[in-house]
Amino acid sequence: MASTSHDRVVRPDNGQRWPLANALRALSMHAVQQANSGHPGAPMGMAEMAEALWHRHLKHNPAHPQWWDRDRFVLSNGHASMLLYALLHLTGYALPMDELKRFRQRGSLTPGHPEVDHTPGVETTTGPLGQGLTNAVGMALAEKLLADEFNRPGHTVVDHRTWVFLGDGCLMEGISQEAISLAGAWQLGKLVALYDDNGISIDGAVTPWFADDTAGRFRACGWQVIGPVDGHDVDALDAAIHAAKAQNAQPTLIICRTTIGKGSPAREGTAKAHGEPLGEAEIAATQAALGWTAAPFEVPADLAAEWDARSRGADAEGAWRSRWAAYRKLFPAEAAALERRMAGTLPASFEADWLSTVAQVQQRAQTVASRKASQLAIAEAARRLPELLGGSADLTASNLTDWPGCGAVRGGAPGGRHLNYGVREFGMAAVMNGVALHGGFIPFGGTFMTFSDYSRNAIRMAALMNRRVIHVLTHDSIGLGEDGPTHQPVEHAASLRLIPNLDVWRPGDAAETFVAWGSALQQAHRPTALLLSRQNLPALTRTPEQTAAIHRGGYVLSERPQPLATLIATGSEVALALQAQALLDARGLPVRVVSMPSTTVFDRQDAAWRQSVLGRHGPRVAVEAGSSKLWAAYGCSAVLGLDRFGESAPGPALMQALGFTPEHLAALVAEEIGREPQIERSSN
């Protein structure tokens, strides 16, 4: 194998540790070139940062990426994906060179941006800037809470760090402020961020639009700031990382002064290095400048050997396994609990237990707001699931996300299972994603439903990453009343339902709320949004069969013989539909009422169920105090919905003024019955 032999590498003789980093540069620039797409500048600029961390500090075992006491590494500037793929390949993860050659091709393990669960060793999906850093805050938080809960004197079984690489794009995004403010307040001392301070963003040299004193900003938020250090001096970076690790009271930012595209004579230090291949000629010039003579996608054997972290990784995990065995012997219950929680499985008894809880709730027939029913469900769940980690974006007493004995999570103090996220909806959502990615907890967080707009892309990311994160979105319609159109969701239920892999529930009473919570907790690989009312909702009467059918997302709540129409309702409008049904009964127009708390769950039911619920005869009419536009997909020919903004007024008055009355709904249904010829439907 001459191509990987030592003698083909011309080493610089100035004592600098170039070669290890240059393997990252070479792989990155060649992979981008081969794909004719991608970002060479950031990987080349961060090569020494990567060498210093991954070769000298990172605790991981490439043979076992799921070892849960590993350090977490987050590439928040996810466009630098080739850096991460090169690191994973070189350190010994199951990412063969052939996959690097297939960078950005369909079905490869090397997509354009890193994707968790797709490539071994990738901890989170990044690309949308600022969120990786925020995920890392969630991971560090989870580590800290688990360490507090499970470590015992002399038995430290949870003890790992969270490392982040980030660029100025991440720091310009507002969510970064939410992240660093929370990390500071929570005193996440084992979180270390390395800032690729290259002074260049896509539009050019950043000072005209990014003039922040970043060190000052982080210090103002309670961070230790180290540097600026020379980001191409591995020993200086190594020393900075040592300093970061020397204290665990504050999160640390290491400012690394780097040159984007470092090594490329014509492109380094320019915005052009960011997002386009260097081109063959410039690659040749770069190789010449670096003294790199290996062929594309070949790494000299001695470099490959030095990068290979499998042996050190096995040792690190082995040492932990000994500690874990000792812990397990002394603390078997704790060990079993931790293993279960890290596996993300619920206690075996949970499902049956929850079914009987739902039955009790149905029997109790309480009139409560669904946000209050949600709080009752949380309390019930928390008794069984110590992994519940709640929170609210500064609306705890409105979202009702806390529960008896939950305790508040506080920086500098152990314990607590409820987080005050402050007014930071997006940060909350992305922190929850990080918690879920880390494992050991099921995170949920509350805000007003309208402000799901703020957190929307993090909700999407949870869906894309298949993570169990639960969004408690209260004040779910104009029914919230006086706060007015800025606070009243209109298009939000429909727009959340459009996000692939997100379950959306809008329960109609306490029993449906409990079922929604049960579903959210049991969906281990998808997020859920719970849309909950501010106002009270009457308990709905159900047979045991109907109660059992709630979990299908849609079911017939009130049947009629020979019905002339089907009336489909969600949430606070289910009671309205029943009132309209009674009015229509009196007019000799029998209609069935379907409760549809979750269209997304209903969509996954078999065709026979869907058909039986939606009805084969007569028109279908939907009612929901929100956008009408998705209901045609369920065969509805009319919708009592809301396709305009709300108004400030008491909730009941507003509902009335905007047409959400039994009389209006009954009239609408009667009109549809009169309009439609009685044809048989062949599909929904």
Decide if residue 487 touches its own copies (CB under 8 A): yes
Q: Which is nearer to its own copies, 19 or 78 (CB)?
A: 78
Rounded Cα distance, 199 and 219, in Å: 20
User: Site mask, its own copies, residues 454-473, x = CB under 8 A?
Assistant: x-xx--xx-xx---------
And the tokens for 398? 């409105």
Decide if residue 494 touches its own copies (CB under 8 A): yes
Among 40, 78, 440, 445, the residue binding its own copies under the rule CB under 8 A is: 78
Give the position of tokens 């386009």: 276
Dihedral of CA atoms 217, 222, 224, 225 in degrees, nearest 10, equals 0
- Burial (0-12, 13-18, 19+ Cβ within 10 Å), 205: middle
Nearest approach in angstroms of CB 6 to its own copies is: 35
187-216 binders of its own copies (CB under 8 A)? 201-204, 206-216
Whether the CB-CB separation of 194 and 163 falls below 8 Å is answered with: yes
Whether the CB-CB separation of 330 and 113 falls below 8 Å is answered with: no
Whether the CB-CB separation of 441 and 391 falls below 8 Å is answered with: no
And the tokens for 145? 């809470």
And the tokens for 238? 């190594």
380-439 binders of its own copies (CB under 8 A)? 392, 394-398, 408, 410-411, 420-424, 426-427
Whether residue 339 lies in the annotated active site? no
Rounded Cα distance, 190 and 177, in Å: 18
> Which secondary structure element, helix H or strand E, spans residue 593, and what is its range?
strand 591-595
Nearest approach in angstroms of CB 627 to its own copies is: 5
Write out the DSSP string of 540-585.
PP--HHHHHHGGGS-EEEE--SS-SEEEEE-TTHHHHHHHHHHHHH
Q: Is 503 helix (H, G, I), strand (E, B) or coil?
A: strand
User: Site mask, its own copies, residues 23-42, x = CB under 8 A?
Assistant: ------------x-xx----
Nearest approach in angstroms of CB 28 to its own copies is: 15
Q: Considering only CA atoms, which of 271, 136, 238, 228 is closest in space to residue 191?
A: 136
Whether the CB-CB separation of 462 and 527 falls below 8 Å is answered with: yes
Q: Which of 99, 425, 512, 624 is labelled catalytic?
A: 425
Q: Which is nearer to its own copies, 221 or 236 (CB)?
A: 221
* 69 is known to lie in a ligand binding site: no
> Which secondary structure element, helix H or strand E, spans residue 447, and what is its range?
strand 442-448
93-122 binders of its own copies (CB under 8 A)? 104-108, 111-113, 115
Q: Which is nearer to its own copies, 69 or 503 (CB)?
A: 503
- Burial (0-12, 13-18, 19+ Cβ within 10 Å), 51: buried
* 200 is known to lie in a ligand binding site: yes
Cis omega (within 30 of 0) for bond into 228 = yes
612-631 binders of its own copies (CB under 8 A)? 627, 629-630
229-268 binders of its own copies (CB under 8 A)? none
Among 265, 405, 415, 485, the residue binding its own copies under the rule CB under 8 A is: 485
127-146 binders of its own copies (CB under 8 A)? 127-130
* 79 is known to lie in a ligand binding site: yes
Number of residues that bind its own copies (CB under 8 A): 110
* 129 is known to lie in a ligand binding site: yes
Among 57, 155, 219, 384, the residue binding its own copies under the rule CB under 8 A is: 219
151-180 binders of its own copies (CB under 8 A)? 168-170, 172-178
Nearest approach in angstroms of CB 377 to its own copies is: 21
* 128 is known to lie in a ligand binding site: yes
545-574 binders of its own copies (CB under 8 A)? none
Nearest approach in angstroms of CB 575 to its own copies is: 22
Beta-bridged to residue 195, according to DSSP, are: 166, 255
Residue 613 CB: number of other CB atoms within 10 A?
Answer: 24
Can you say which residues are annotated as belonging to the binding site for thiamine diphosphate?
79, 127-129, 169, 198, 274, 451
Residues marked as binding for substrate?
A: 39, 274, 371, 398, 475, 483, 487, 534
Question: Residue positions in the annotated binding site?
Answer: 39, 79, 127-129, 168-169, 198, 200, 274, 371, 398, 451, 475, 483, 487, 534
Active-site amino acid positions: 425
